[in-house]
Amino acid sequence: MFDLTINGQSRRVDVEPDTPLLWVLRDTLGMTGTKYGCGIAQCGACTVLMDGQATRSCQVTVDSIGAAKVETIEAVEADPVGRKVVAAWIAAQVPQCGYCQSGQVMAATALLRETPKPSDDDIAGAMTNLCRCGTYNAIAAAVRHAAA
């Protein structure tokens, strides 16, 4: 049994200690906004925030979470920065297939909370998630838009 704090709510889950947070979210809790893409921290589709830091949830075992506060895409608009990011994503018409965009939005939210006026280098450093549709330029435009 593990007690987790997800989007401000406590959730108790009965899974093996080495279960990745990603699969706790998706299969145990039914929160499918966080996506599985590679399972090896390459793509970032599974990005969530842990104590505000963008984190690849496929690499976080449930027994390592402890009291850390987990935020997922399901609650992104409950946060003022997250709300701005989503609005910018819509204004810039970023998504195509959309599958990576949950992770991209979470990564952008973490970046802008920490660095409200990011430079291009900041964006390059923080926005490392893969997008097979090639929306990278639109993502950068949306991050700048949200920062403006």
Partner 1 sequence: MDQILRSPARAPEGTATLSRRHLLGAAAGALVLAVALPARVRAEAQGPAEGAGAIAPKPGTRVPAFLEIRPDGTFRFLSPFVEGGQGIATGMAQIVGEELDVDPARFVVECAPPGPDYAVVNGIRMTGGSFSTRSSYPLMRQLGATARDMLVRAAAARLKVQAAELTTRDGTVVHAASGRTLAYGALAADAMALKPNESAPLRDSKTFRYIGKPVARIDVRDKATGRAVYAIDQKVEGMLYAAVAHAPHPGTEPVGLDNEAAVRSMPGVHSVHRLPGAVAVAADSWWRARKAVEALTVRWSAPKATGLDTVAADFSSDGLLAVLKASAEAGHAAEAEGDVTGAFARAAKVVEAEYAAPYLAHAQLEPPSSIARFNPDGTLDVWLPNQMPELFQGISAKVAGVSPDKVRIHSPMLGGFFGRHFPYDSGNPFPQAILLAKATGRPVKVLWSREEEFARDGLRPLSFSRFRAALDAAGNPTAIEVRTVGEGPIGRYFGALMKTPVDPSAVEGIVEKPYAIANRRMTFTKVAHPVTIAFWRSVGHSMNDAFYESFLDEVAQAGGHDPFELRMTLLKDKPRHLRLLREVADLAGGWRRGPYAAGAGQRARGVSLASPFGSETATIAEVSVEGGEARVHNLWIAFDPGSVVNPAIVKAQVESAAALGTSSVLFEQIVYRDGLRQSRNFDTYPILRREHMPAVHVRIVESGAPMGGVGEPGLPGVPSAILNAIAALTGQRIRSLPVANTKLAGA
Residues that bind partner 1 (CB under 8 A): 15-16, 19-20, 23, 26-28, 30, 32-40, 42-43, 45, 72-74, 76-77, 86, 89-90, 93-102, 105, 124, 127-128, 130-140
Closest approach, Cβ 42 to partner 1, in A, equals: 4
Name the H helices within the chain.
Answer: 21-23, 80-91, 101-114, 120-126, 136-147
Closest approach, Cβ 51 to partner 1, in A, equals: 20
DSSP codes joined into one string, 38-69 = -SSSSS-TTEEEETTEEEEGGG-BGGGTTTPE
Q: Which is nearer to partner 1, 32 or 119 (CB)?
A: 32
Rounded to an integer, what is the distance from CA 62 to the centroid of its chain?
A: 17
Closest approach, Cβ 87 to partner 1, in A, equals: 9
